[in-house]
Chains A and B, each alone.
Chain A
């Protein structure tokens, strides 16, 4: 599944990337115009030279304009205009759930981002579902058989999203009605609205929807028992989550941060922290998804 990304890049890059032999550990493929190709992952990073062998980044294949523009054409199905919304937010989601970050010359219209022209860099982040990544945390989510509203605190890159996805899958398969508000299309990796990753039998996904509005929409129409969302950061998100929790819906959400004290200072927390029943702090100490601390305040 990870390898399916090869279909989405320029033919020349396809040949080069064929040299990767540890797909299971690769997290990112970085294409920067006129600079070396970089493969990143848990192993660190490496490049691929012109003899299609792994090498130091400095000796790696130099990415050309042709590589980048062909890759974009393929990824966009030759329809750049169809991706305006995605490009404006800085990334697009591919058919098999991989996500691509885009940088280049940003075109503004009345102070707002309109488009990106002259794309100079692509960061292909490979989607992988790690089934069972939530196994450890699942026990913590219940207290005397009752599901707890949980705030997952973690710095970037500690497997928050993978974890949320697996939690959604497991709880949904256990019988909970789950709604995922997937503002950045990361959790379910929807393509044309349809989840590309397994999020469970009873999970509905609001894809690309702003969290605050999405939570209200879900409460109105989808009668969720559990709402899962990623990276709260805005006071409006906090208010909407509070609204949900007050009406008896459980919430599992993640936010960026190192510790509870760190998170406590944020604006949005004031709106809803008393309604969360526990916080779980993650780190990368023993690989992504290490549970650092579980704070129950119920």
Chain B
């Protein structure tokens, strides 16, 4: 029992290290799509974001879906408002605080300036996400195996100590 549960905790911890780079990667992909939408199609934010929501994997899809829905449904919404509400979805999906902070900054500028400027902001965000992905990958490589074994080992140790 003890070995199993503590092993499970270890696996869950390992899993969070596994999913973070993947989630960030999808987020980066979505931002890239948004950049394309703005650069080539000049689509408005609600239009662009609901299209992105259809193309991308969860939980990033529901973030963009929610953002687009907020822009359309709220009573005269501001981007920052709609964006921050949607960020709750990423928070619940287990995104780290530091990653959310990177995203939150975009909410201040999105849609407020001409296309050249928007594209600059979006590529900046992509760069920051890329370095976050790199960091997340390093952490994953370091920690996944550690947690996988650590859980079971600690479980075994506790059992040994008890008897």
A-B contact count (CB 8 A): 51
Please determine whether B76 and A70 come into contact, CB atoms closer than 8 angstroms. Answer: yes
Please determine whether A81 and B46 come into contact, CB atoms closer than 8 angstroms. Answer: no
Query: What CA separation (Å) do A114 and B82 show in the bound complex?
Result: 28
- Contact of A23 with B by CB under 8 A: no
Give the contacts of A67-109 with B (CB-CB under 8 A).
70, 73-74, 76-82, 84
- Contact of A10 with B by CB under 8 A: yes
Give the contacts of B38-74 with A (CB-CB under 8 A).
38, 42-46, 71
Please determine whether A81 and B113 come into contact, CB atoms closer than 8 angstroms. Answer: yes
CB-CB nearest in chain A for B42? A82
How distant is B128 from chain A, measured CB to nearest CB, in Å? 21
A73 and B114 contact, Cβ closer than 8 Å, known pairs A78-B71, A79-B45, A82-B42:
no
Please determine whether A78 and B115 come into contact, CB atoms closer than 8 angstroms. Answer: no
Chain A residue numbers with a CB within 8 Å of B75 are: 11
Please determine whether B114 and A114 come into contact, CB atoms closer than 8 angstroms. Answer: yes
Please determine whether B78 and A73 come into contact, CB atoms closer than 8 angstroms. Answer: yes
Please determine whether B38 and A10 come into contact, CB atoms closer than 8 angstroms. Answer: no
Task: Identify which of B38, B42, B45, B114 contacts A78 (C-beta below 8 A).
Answer: B45
How many of chain A's residues have a CB under 8 angstroms from any CB in B?
15
Task: Identify which of A74, A81, A114 contacts B118 (C-beta below 8 A).
Answer: A81
Query: What CA separation (Å) do A79 and B43 show in the bound complex?
Result: 8
Please determine whether B76 and A79 come into contact, CB atoms closer than 8 angstroms. Answer: no
Q: How large is the interface on B (under 10, 10 to 19, 20 to 34, 35 or more residues)?
A: 20 to 34
Task: Identify which of A10, A11, A73, A77 contacts B46 (C-beta below 8 A).
Answer: A77
Query: What CA separation (Å) do A15 and B75 show in the bound complex?
Result: 14
Query: What CA separation (Å) do A76 and B115 show in the bound complex?
Result: 13
Chain A residue numbers with a CB within 8 Å of B86 are: none
- Contact of A115 with B by CB under 8 A: yes
CB-CB nearest in chain B for A87? B114
A81 and B38 contact, Cβ closer than 8 Å, known pairs A114-B114, A115-B114:
yes
A82 and B44 contact, Cβ closer than 8 Å, known pairs A77-B71, A114-B114, A115-B114:
yes
CB-CB nearest in chain A for B75? A11
Chain A residue numbers with a CB within 8 Å of B113 are: 80-81
How distant is A172 from chain B, measured CB to nearest CB, in Å? 30
Please determine whether B114 and A77 come into contact, CB atoms closer than 8 angstroms. Answer: no
Chain B residue numbers with a CB within 8 Å of A79 are: 43-45, 111
A10 and B118 contact, Cβ closer than 8 Å, known pairs A81-B38, A81-B113:
no
CB-CB nearest in chain A for B112? A80
- Contact of B27 with A by CB under 8 A: no
Chain B residue numbers with a CB within 8 Å of A11 are: 75-76
Give the contacts of A45-80 with B (CB-CB under 8 A).
70, 73-74, 76-80
Chain B residue numbers with a CB within 8 Å of A114 are: 114
Please determine whether B77 and A78 come into contact, CB atoms closer than 8 angstroms. Answer: yes
Task: Name which of A10, A70, A80, A114 has the most chain B CB atoms within 10 A of its CB.
Answer: A80
A84 and B115 contact, Cβ closer than 8 Å, known pairs A10-B76, A73-B79, A78-B79:
yes
20 additional A-B pairs beyond A70-B78, A73-B78, A81-B42, beta carbons within 8 Å, are A10-B76, A73-B79, A76-B111, A77-B45, A78-B45, A78-B46, A78-B77, A78-B78, A78-B79, A78-B111, A79-B43, A79-B45, A80-B113, A81-B114, A82-B38, A82-B42, A82-B43, A82-B44, A84-B114, A84-B115
Interface residues of A (CB under 8 A from B): 10-11, 70, 73-74, 76-82, 84, 114-115
Interface residues of B (CB under 8 A from A): 38, 42-46, 71, 75-79, 82, 110-115, 117-118
Nearest 5 A/B pairs, CB to CB: A79-B44, A81-B115, A78-B111, A77-B44, A82-B42
